[in-house]
Amino acid sequence: MKKSVKILSVLLFLVLATEASSQITASFYANSNSSKFALGYNINERFWTDLRVYSDTSLDNVTPEIVINHNIVKKNNYDIYFGAGAILNNINAVIIPVGIGIKPIESLRNLSFNIEFNPIYEFDLEDVFIRGFIGIRYILN
């Protein structure tokens, strides 16, 4: 488990170090059962990463989720994206986030309200779960 976290940390660092002109993001996602905070990195106009941490875990039992997303549609008022990633620790799973980021405020194009559909395959339970999250994402300049 610890080896997997180290490998994912190195991979995230390499992704973050690839392009100096990219932008850091901060996000919060919630559903009726759990919530998660995220720090992300816009690699370019189409690809971005998130390191998400579930808020309903203790510090001794942190559950990270790392994803890379691809904006398949990028418009002035919204983005549609999908991605792939992994969740480790309390949940050991592969995740496929699919979502839309809506930018309703013209003067705040760095702010989006996200609706995300998350099918996950949980290895420990050998089952597929479908979750949904709503969230807010902000691109820091």
State pLDDT tens for residues 104-139. 999 998 999 999 999 999 999 999 999 999 999 999
pLDDT attached to residue 7: 53
Report in angstroms the alpha-carbon separations of 105 from 9, 10, 46, 109, 139.
34, 36, 21, 7, 14
CATH code linked to domain 2-140: 2.40.160.20
Average of per-residue pLDDT values in the chain: 85
Strands 93-95 and 98-102 come out as unpaired
pLDDT attached to residue 20: 46
Average pLDDT over residues 1-15: 54
The pTM of the full predicted model, rounded to 2 decimals, is 0.78
Q: Is the pLDDT of residue 99 over 80?
A: yes
Distance between CA 21 and CA 9 in Å, rounded? 21
Q: Is the pLDDT of residue 43 over 70?
A: yes
Neighbours of 94 (CB within 10 A): 14
Give the pLDDT band (50/70/90) at residue 56.
confident
63-83 pLDDT per residue, tens: 899 999 999 999 999 999 999
**SS3 breakdown of the chain: % helix, strand, coil, rounded to 5?**
15, 55, 30
Distance between CA 21 and CA 49 in Å, rounded? 15
Q: Is the pLDDT of residue 60 over 50?
A: yes
In the chain, where are the structural domains located? 2-140
